[in-house]
Structure 1
Amino acid sequence: MSSDRSVVVHSDAEELATATAARLINTVADAQADHRPVHIALTGGRIAATVYRHVLESPFRTAVNWNQVHFWWGDERFLPSGNADRNETQAREAFLDALEIDPEHVHPMPAADAVDTVEEAAAVYAEELNVAGHESRVMPHFDLILLGIGEDAHVASLFPGHKVLDEKEKSVVGVRTAPKPPSERTTLTFPVLNSATEVWVIASGGGKAEAVSSALEADDVPAAQVNGRTTRWLVDRDAAGDLHRFDF
């Protein structure tokens, strides 16, 4: 599969969030002009929450039929439903609840009060992902996957040195020994991330600069393996501070 990668650098975090929200609305609207429903996987983190709020506040959000969008998550902390540290909770508070989307179109990863183990959570979510699949595809297909990047250059809950980085068959796996709390998580795998039509990695702040440069200028960190059909790195100038090979 051929792929295209680009790096877009914005002046600061606010401009990054505003521009990414507009890009998200345009991307979904364009996808809906071609097919429905559209499938998106969300991420967590401060910059993602800001993007979601800008989507909700945008006067152009009516260009999208939000009830024809299915929302998923790239990874999740294995915590009880409603916990403030769950990516699902963050996204619901930032924009999903206000959009009044059909509950059947919102697909959170199973919470710790719904299933007993991360392995069970992964199996349940993999089964549900059939909605995003197609008979001709080996892996579920997303129109758009949003990702953050950690200071260690992890994406989703795919951390350096973990065996799940090499997973080729499963679409979702449980993680028990994440180096960041909580240690138990559920995550999509690289075969799913890299089968998406578009993957966006969003990064803000100088604390992410080393991770961004290592992902784009080396090949030995998890984020370097992100390779959707189109991969966009959407960053602010601080996060791009250590890059050398890209013209801004």
Structure 2
Amino acid sequence: MTSRLVVVHPDVDVLAEAAAARLLTRILDVQSVRRPVHVVLTGGTVGIRALAAAAASPLVAAVDWSGVHLWWGDERFLPTGDADRNETQARAAMIDALVTSAGLPEANVHPVAGPDTAGSPEESAAAYAAELAAQADDGAPVPAFDVLLLGMGPDGHVASLFPGHEALGATGATVGVHGSPKPPAERVSLTFDAINAAREVWVVAAGAEKAEQAAAALAGQPVAEVPASGVAGTDRTLWLLDTAASDAP
């Protein structure tokens, strides 16, 4: 049976450092029993700060990065190298250093295609679905992600699944998103089917502007109104919050 745990840290700095330590420890724990390890990264302020903290941790040297695959829960449909892409920010925070000096193979980094290599969000989503399936076991549509990181917006969105948006009902592994209420309008996202195939899902959120929606999600409000309420790992779901995000009025 899946379990849910809410962990509250005193501020965003401690949250980012703790999430980083937790992530590296999780990778090490999984590597002791199976390989490869599949990790889904998120963007956002706290997500990128956590990756930077992970890159600076001495635990990095203990991980066999040759056996780790990195994915993204969503991506803005922007050209490779654009500063607003989650991939670009994650490379600067952590991935480039791992590739250069920690033995992470570039082939194990799985970015979402942008308009420089895909003609539309749908084409990019289809290509990503194929890449996910190629790394999955036993014909599954996606790997059983060992940890899937998600940020949460002040509106309760996760990945690029926004309240009231048609993408909420998408099936399969991925979906092309148009008309996102948060720029840019075009994106690619994992679906709830793919997210909830993860062994562990971690929602990382900080700030008072997230508190109301975090409380609503934890209370099980409708997914159409609070998409974050619809995510759960098959083994465990973690909500990693700072005090401000946990203090709903």
User: Is the CA contact (8 Å cut-off) linking 2:173 and 2:194 kept in structure 1?
Assistant: yes
Runs of 4+ in structure 1 deviating by more than 3 angstroms, as ranges, are 136-140
Q: Which residue matches 1:27?
A: 26
Q: Which residue matches 1:172?
A: 174
Q: Which residue of 161, 181, 189 maps to 2:164? A: 161
> Which whole-Å CA distance do the structure 1 matches of 2:130 and 2:217 have between them?
31
> Which whole-Å CA distance do the structure 2 matches of 1:125 and 1:138 have between them?
11
Partner-residue secondary structure (3-state), 1:223: helix
Residues 142 and 132 of structure 1: is their aligned pair in 2 closer, same or farther, counting only changes over 3 Å?
A: farther
User: Is the CA contact (8 Å cut-off) linking 1:39 and 1:132 kept in structure 2?
Assistant: no
> Which whole-Å CA distance do the structure 2 matches of 1:215 and 1:54 have between them?
27
Q: Which residue of 186, 191, 194 maps to 2:193? A: 191
User: What is the letter of the counterpart of residue 18 of structure 2?
Assistant: A
**1:163 Cα deviation (Å)?**
2.1
Q: Which residue matches 2:118?
A: 115
Q: Which residue of 228, 233, 245 maps to 1:223? A: 228
Residues 67 and 138 of structure 1: is their aligned pair in 2 closer, same or farther, counting only changes over 3 Å?
A: closer
Q: Which residue matches 1:246?
A: none
> Which whole-Å CA distance do the structure 2 matches of 1:64 and 1:110 have between them?
27
User: What is the letter of the counterpart of residue 64 of structure 2?
Assistant: N
User: Is the CA contact (8 Å cut-off) linking 1:140 and 1:171 kept in structure 2?
Assistant: no
Q: Which residue matches 1:241?
A: 247
> Which whole-Å CA distance do the structure 1 matches of 2:154 and 2:168 have between them?
17
Q: Which runs of 5+ in 2 are unaligned?
A: none
Partner-residue secondary structure (3-state), 1:238: helix
Partner-residue secondary structure (3-state), 1:173: strand
> Which whole-Å CA distance do the structure 2 matches of 1:147 and 1:131 have between them?
23
**1:139 Cα deviation (Å)?**
4.1
Q: What pairs up with 1:1-248 in 2 under 5 angstroms? A: 2-100=1-99, 101-135=104-138, 137-168=140-171, 170-220=172-222, 221-229=226-234, 230-242=236-248
Residues 149 and 178 of structure 1: is their aligned pair in 2 closer, same or farther, counting only changes over 3 Å?
A: same
User: Is the CA contact (8 Å cut-off) linking 1:75 and 1:186 kept in structure 2?
Assistant: yes
String of CA shifts for 1:113-144, please: whole Å, max 9, x gaps.
11110000000000000233111635432111
Compare 52-61 and 90-99 and name the one that shifted more: 52-61
TM-score between both structures, scaled by the size of structure 2 = 0.94
**1:211 Cα deviation (Å)?**
1.6
User: What is the letter of the counterpart of residue 119 of structure 2?
Assistant: D
Q: CA RMSD in A?
A: 1.2
> Which whole-Å CA distance do the structure 2 matches of 1:133 and 1:222 have between them?
26
> Which whole-Å CA distance do the structure 2 matches of 1:55 and 1:182 have between them?
28
String of CA shifts for 1:178-230, please: whole Å, max 9, x gaps.
10000000000001111101000000111111121111123221100011121
> Which whole-Å CA distance do the structure 2 matches of 1:171 and 1:138 have between them?
6
Q: Which runs of 5+ in 1 are unaligned?
A: 244-248
The number of equivalent residue pairs is 241
